[in-house]
């Protein structure tokens, strides 16, 4: 990705803060450190570490959580799904709390959210809906998951496939404490692709209509 360098990530973070963002979610230790130097808003930090015999890769270990904190994150995001994992959710929450930071448990189902809160997580995020084989596979935000979390009294942040202001407002209506916007803001390639695909679909539809006449 052309914008993957820490300096570019920091510039994007500064830009969204200028636009009114209340905080940022940043992946990667170098990126977290670079953003911390230029942004004083709350920062959710995480690392992605694939390997071993687990599908869990968002801040999977206690060492990863500590590294994210050392890099400058205020909130540590980690995978809290019910998959085999290298570190227990309760242990991750305890380590993060001991360092004076908040924990954000990324889940894919309401049961996972409830379990994570009981294990000590400060807030749940709907990030991983669709990323586990047993969760809903959707092209839009998982509003049903938000409804389920709200009904269970689980504090949550909405994240995942939020592409419009209408999506964001619906998430707040369902009880989201805040909304994390990803590719709809930070990925020009994905934004461009949505326009290109929409134009292509419209052109193809018009062409079929012309042929049918």
Please give the average pLDDT of every successive group of 10 residues along the chain, which has 213 residues. 91 97 98 98 96 91 98 98 96 98 98 98 98 96 98 97 97 98 90 89 66 50
CA 156 remoteness from chain centre:
12
Residues 6+ apart with CB under 8 A from 133: none
pLDDT value for 205: 64
Could you tell me if 200 and 140 lie in one domain? no
Could you tell me if 87 and 127 lie in one domain? yes
The domain that holds 42 is classified in CATH as 3.20.20.70
pLDDT value for 201: 78
Number of domains making up the chain: 2
Residue 195 lies in a domain: yes
CB atoms within 10 A of CB 87: 19
Residue 23 lies in a domain: yes
Could you tell me if 195 and 106 lie in one domain? no
Could you tell me if 146 and 49 lie in one domain? yes
Could you tell me if 138 and 213 lie in one domain? no
Residue 146 lies in a domain: yes
pLDDT value for 202: 78
pLDDT value for 158: 98
Could you tell me if 67 and 98 lie in one domain? yes
User: From edge to edge, which strands make up the β-sheet containing 123-125?
Assistant: 24-27, 43-46, 75-79, 102-106, 123-125, 156-159, 179-180
Could you tell me if 35 and 127 lie in one domain? yes
Q: Which structural domain range is residue 159 located in?
A: 6-181
Residue 1 lies in a domain: no
Burial of 206 (0-12, 13-18, 19+ CB in 10 A): exposed
CA angle 139–184–58, rounded 5-degree value: 75
pLDDT value for 194: 85
Residue 196 lies in a domain: yes
- 133 and 109 in contact (C-beta within 8 Å)? no
Could you tell me if 118 and 213 lie in one domain? no
pLDDT value for 20: 97
Could you tell me if 202 and 103 lie in one domain? no
Residue 140 lies in a domain: yes
CA distances from 7 to 11, 14, 72 (A): 6, 11, 16
Could you tell me if 30 and 111 lie in one domain? yes
How far apart are the C-alpha atoms of 207 and 193, rounded to whole Å? 21
75-79 and 102-106: which strand pairing? parallel
Put residue 153 in one of left, alpha, beta given phi > 0 → left and psi -120 to 50 → alpha.
left
Could you tell me if 212 and 145 lie in one domain? no
Could you tell me if 20 and 41 lie in one domain? yes
């Amino acid at each position: 990705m052309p914008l993957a360098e820490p300096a570019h990530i920091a510039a994007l973070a500064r830009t969204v803060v200028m636009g009114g963002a209340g905080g940022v979610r940043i992946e990667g230790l170098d990126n977290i450190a670079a953003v911390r130097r230029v942004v004083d808003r709350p920062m959710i930090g995480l690392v992605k570490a694939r390997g071993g015999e687990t599908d869990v890769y968002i801040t999977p270990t206690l060492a990863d959580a500590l590294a994210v904190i050392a890099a400058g994150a205020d909130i540590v995001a980690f995978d809290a799904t019910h998959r085999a994992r290298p570190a227990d959710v309760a242990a991750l929450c305890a380590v993060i709390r001991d360092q004076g930071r908040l924990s954000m448990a990324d889940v894919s189902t309401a049961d996972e959210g409830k379990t994570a809160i009981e294990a000590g997580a400060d807030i749940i995020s709907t990030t991983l809906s669709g990323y586990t084989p047993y969760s809903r596979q959707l092209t839009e935000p998982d509003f049903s998951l938000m409804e389920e979390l709200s009904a269970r009294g689980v504090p949550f942040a909405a994240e995942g496939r939020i592409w419009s202001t209408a999506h964001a407002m619906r998430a707040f209506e369902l009880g989201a404490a805040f909304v994390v916007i990803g590719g709809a803001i930070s990925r020009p390639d994905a934004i461009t692709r949505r326009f290109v695909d929409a134009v292509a679909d419209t052109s193809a539809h018009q062409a079929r209509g012309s042929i049918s006449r």
